[in-house]
Amino acid sequence: MQWLGIHWRFLPIEKVWVGKKQVKKNIEKIVSAVDTSDINAGPKHSGRSSGQAGLPEGGALAAVTANPLILSQSAEARMAHFFEVLQNAASGQKISIFHYGDSQIEGDRMTGYIRQRIQQQFGGIGPGLIPAYNVYATQSFKQSVSPNFKRYTSFWPPKMSSRRYGAMLSSATFTDGATELKTPVEAWIEIAPSAAAFARARSYSQVKCFYNSCYKPCSVKVYQNDKLIHEDSLIADGAPHVLPLSFEQNPGKLRYVFSSTKSPVFSGFSLEGDVGVQVNNVAMRGSSGHDLSSSDATLFAQMHREANTKLFILQFGGNSVHTFRDSSSVRYYVSSLKNRINYIQKLVPDAAIILIGPSDMSRLNDGVFETYPLLPYTVDRMQKMCLDNGVAFWNLYATMGGFNSMPAWVSQGLAGKDYVHFTPRGASIASQYFFEAFGAAYSNWLSKKGGQE
């Protein structure tokens, strides 16, 4: 009603006398059914060490799971191709998995746990590709940069007109714009392992610097624990290049000092082992996945070829759920996400894709937290889109307990008070369920193949 120029809204009398009660699902079985306590201690590898850094520990994988990957025939074929490569990952040929997602994976949340499990099982060490200029707090590595470095991303201003972000969808330069300076300036990036990381990410034997758009002479000096170990010049032909360094053991702190009148574009550093799987985290705060196609296509594809990417894990939807007003807006969003998936399939055709749907998310409605009304429909449409496009789907929403499960996760300290993001413990539980689904799909493929590990 309108009164005194103000629109007044009154609760029905039944709600005045009997308010809505907060519903909390019982998730005890969900929480107790997984064990995340031994994440840094796995079974010992049954074979002989070849002296290559990153050999697997092996161990048994789940044969069945209550929350499996949902696969169409074409998605199963793509995953079978990936599993064939994965089985041989520790024999010498390294492969990459890229985990692109929104803030639910920011700071290596979920990815760090998944990486540890996959590298334990199939080989690999190190956190993999990291941004040239990282701004998110992360436990997986340490990084600092000189004040004259500037960060650009495909998903948040400031952006680069050239769109030369590469696979990380972010980049950094130490001089602004196209103007060349009269005298060279120095800039530095320092990288070190983190003692807080999961065990496999704490060490690495190879470090690669990815750069492009180097048109003017640029010198680089690399210091290992403050001792100069490498002096070089970047290739000034404008093309994408990699500056690789290898070490007999974990190199510790590395400082790259660059000097030029015009900065190249730095698109990331890779911290990796000699064999196995690199699992790379690309967190895109605020993104719904639309920005997956916002990088220069040639550079995006080239960087994935260099990394030998064989699997994409995409985790989006959470930033759009609260904006949906009707079913047509959901269908429009899922159609847009499908176009981005098709874009990846075109640029990296021999890689499989897994889409992780959004978690349960709650809105405050009449004093209680409830699942966003169109979230279940969003999950259903995502699953159908995946089945139609050769993409594996994993239902995180159902794994959590489905409708109105988030309040129970919050009350047990598994999710934050925003009723959206997991806490570290909650992320570990969700990630363990994903790894079980991943492992069960691999076991099923191995069983059909009739092979042995």
Of 396 and 41, which is predicted with more confidence?
Answer: 396
Q: Within a 10 A sphere around the Cβ of 41, how many other Cβ atoms? A: 10
Average pLDDT, the chain: 91
Model confidence pLDDT, tens digit, residues 328-379? 999 999 999 999 999 999 999 999 999 999 999 999 998 899 999 999 999 9
Model confidence pLDDT, tens digit, residues 83-114? 999 998 877 789 999 999 999 999 999 999 99
Q: Is the pLDDT of residue 28 over 90?
A: no
pTM over 0.85: yes
Q: Is the pLDDT of residue 219 over 70?
A: yes
Whole-number pLDDT of residue 64: 87
Whole-number pLDDT of residue 46: 33
Whole-number pLDDT of residue 196: 94
**Per the structure block, which two tokens stand in for 330?**
């959901």
Q: Is the pLDDT of residue 9 over 90?
A: no
* For residues 166-177, average pLDDT: 95
CB 107 within 8 A of CB 264: no
DSSP state of 94: -
Whole-number pLDDT of residue 41: 59
Contacts 24+ apart (CB under 8 A), 150-159: 150/174, 150/176, 153/284, 154/284, 154/291, 154/294, 154/295, 155/284, 155/285, 155/286, 155/287, 155/291, 155/294, 156/284, 156/285, 156/286, 156/287
Whole-number pLDDT of residue 179: 85
Question: Which structural domains are found in the chain, ordered by start?
Answer: 27-124+276-453 (3.40.50.1110), 129-274 (2.60.120)
DSSP string, 102-153: SGGGGGGTTHHHHHHHHHHHH---S-EEE-SS--S--SSEEEEE-TT-EEEE
Whole-number pLDDT of residue 23: 73
Model confidence pLDDT, tens digit, residues 30-64? 888 878 876 775 433 333 334 457 778 877 888 88
DSSP string, 1-56: -EETTEE-----HHHHHS---------HHHHHT---TTTT--PPPSS---S-TT--
Q: What is the largest CA-CA distance in the chain?
A: 83
Model confidence pLDDT, tens digit, residues 413-452? 999 999 999 999 999 999 999 999 999 999 999 999 875 5
Residue 453 pLDDT level (bands cut at 50, 70, 90): low
CA–CA distance, 141 with 134 (Å, rounded to integer)? 10
The CA-based angle 25-29-30, given to 5 degrees, is: 75
CB 438 within 8 A of CB 69: yes
Whole-number pLDDT of residue 301: 97
Which of 47-51, 126-130, 178-182 comes out lowest in average pLDDT? 47-51
CA–CA distance, 65 with 78 (Å, rounded to integer)? 20
Residues 6+ apart with CB under 8 A from 233: 217, 218, 219, 220
Beta 227-233 vs 218-224: how paired, if at all? antiparallel
Of 39 and 318, which is predicted with more confidence?
Answer: 318
Which of 40-49, 221-230, 395-404 comes out lowest in average pLDDT? 40-49
Whole-number pLDDT of residue 27: 86
Residue 178 pLDDT level (bands cut at 50, 70, 90): confident
DSSP string, 187-252: EEEEEEE-TTS-GGGG--SEEEEEEE---S-EEEEEEETTEEEEEEE---SSS-EEEEEE-SS---
Q: Is the pLDDT of residue 12 over 70?
A: no
φ/ψ bin of 185: left (φ > 0), alpha (ψ from -120 to 50), beta (otherwise) = beta
Please state, for a pLDDT cut of 70, what percent of the chain lies above it.
92
Residue 5 pLDDT level (bands cut at 50, 70, 90): low
Whole-number pLDDT of residue 59: 77
Please state, for a pLDDT cut of 90, what percent of the chain lies above it.
81
